């Protein structure tokens, strides 16, 4: 497992779980900002991404073991977890895990997908063509889904800007406004390039894990012990807001904030404020601290 620690060495530990596809180098507050916030941020490549070895056939629930292993190596007794987009379900797995329950203080989930077998949810309703195709709408054959990911990853290997350009063609106005910054686009490009540097395997395994049972029970999350907060943009077309509302309704005691006029990539600007909540500090944080130099600079 490859991971990166930024921020205050003696700060409160928070695990950041990246999106799909993604890597430990994804958007996050700069190191100096994390230091001032008193946050020790731990970001890692899920198996198959970046420098982490592949774990073929992994389930969403297996993320709890990844986090546990890194926490043990760093000698962290207590820590919080935040997951964005495809990292959201993996963050919830940590909240539901029996072995981690006494160690995870709070969990935040931004613009997460719901389980693919969610009852009373039309999973693809409101989802744009990029994610609909990427998750194989109406395609029971997983090999077809895998080949589509391989095709897109191969295009990205030939043209590193392909994924970002393709992504932007499926964005609505709120998301275009959110990434209307060259520095942020550069970070997104960097995380995609790092994610796929050794092949498409992390992306493939993420999608397959999200398409089948997550292998944990949302109802097992005890928010009296581990408070859970969800954030969603009302105009999200990558992970429609109906997914966030569905999750909130099935996690007893979970809080959800739906922001009108916001979409999927607005979650990046919400991260500093969410980190404050995760560490127990409720003071407001300016949204512009996310954009700029790479973490640690």
Local structure of 52: helix, strand or coil: coil
Spatial separation of the C-alpha atoms in residues 207 and 270, rounded to whole Å: 25
pLDDT of 288 reads 40
Of 60-74, 84-98, 133-147, where does mean pLDDT reach its minimum? 133-147
Distance CA(279)–CA(72), nearest Å, equals 20
| pTM for this model (two decimals) | 0.93
Q: What is the CA radius of gyration of the chain?
A: 17
Cβ atoms of residues 236 and 265 within 8 Å: no
Beta strand 79-84 pairing with 12-17:
parallel
Q: Compute CA distances 98 → 15, 59, 296, whole Å.
A: 18, 16, 34
Complete edge-to-edge strand list for the sheet that includes strand 12-17: 3-7, 39-44, 12-17, 79-84, 104-110, 228-233, 255-259
Q: Tell me which architecture the domain covering 3-289 has in CATH.
A: 3-Layer(aba) Sandwich (3.40)
Q: What is the pLDDT of residues 139-176, one digit of tens each?
A: 888 999 999 999 999 999 888 789 888 888 889 999 99
Listed by start position, the domains of the chain span 3-289
User: pLDDT tens digits, residue range 200-247?
Assistant: 999 999 999 999 999 999 999 999 999 999 999 999 999 999 999 999
pLDDT digits (tens, 9 = 90+) for 12-57: 999 999 999 999 999 999 999 999 999 999 999 999 999 999 999 9
CA distance 65 to 74: 14
């Amino acid at each position: 497992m490859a991971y990166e620690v930024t921020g205050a060495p003696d700060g409160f530990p928070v695990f950041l779980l990246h999106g799909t596809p993604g890597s430990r180098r994804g958007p996050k507050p700069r190191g100096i900002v994390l230091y001032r916030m008193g946050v020790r941020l731990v970001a890692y490549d899920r198996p198959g991404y970046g420098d982490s070895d592949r774990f073929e056939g992994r389930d969403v629930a297996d993320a709890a073991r990844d986090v546990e292993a890194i926490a043990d190596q760093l000698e962290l007794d207590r820590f919080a977890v935040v997951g964005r987009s495809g990292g959201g379900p993996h963050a919830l797995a940590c909240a539901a895990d029996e072995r981690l329950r006494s160690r995870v203080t709070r969990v935040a989930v931004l613009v997460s997908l719901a389980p693919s077998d969610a009852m009373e949810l039309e999973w693809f309703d409101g989802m744009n063509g990029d994610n609909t195709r990427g998750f194989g709408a109406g395609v029971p054959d997983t090999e077809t889904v895998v080949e589509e990911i391989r095709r897109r990853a191969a295009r990205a290997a030939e043209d590193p800007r392909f994924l970002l350009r393709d992504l932007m063609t499926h964005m609505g106005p709120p998301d275009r406004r959110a990434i209307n910054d060259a520095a942020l686009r550069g970070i997104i490009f960097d995380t995609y390039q790092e994610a796929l540097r050794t092949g498409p395997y992390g992306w493939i395994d993420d999608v397959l894990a999200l398409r089948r049972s997550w292998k944990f029970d949302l109802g097992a999350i005890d928010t009296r012990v581990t408070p859970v907060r969800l954030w969603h943009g009302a105009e999200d077309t990558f992970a429609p807001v109906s997914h966030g509302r569905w999750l909130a309704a099935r996690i007893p005691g979970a809080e959800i904030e739906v922001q009108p006029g916001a979409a999927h990539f607005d979650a990046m600007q919400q991260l500093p404020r969410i980190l404050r909540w995760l560490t127990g500090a409720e003071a407001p944080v300016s949204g512009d601290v996310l954009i700029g130099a790479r973490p640690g600079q």
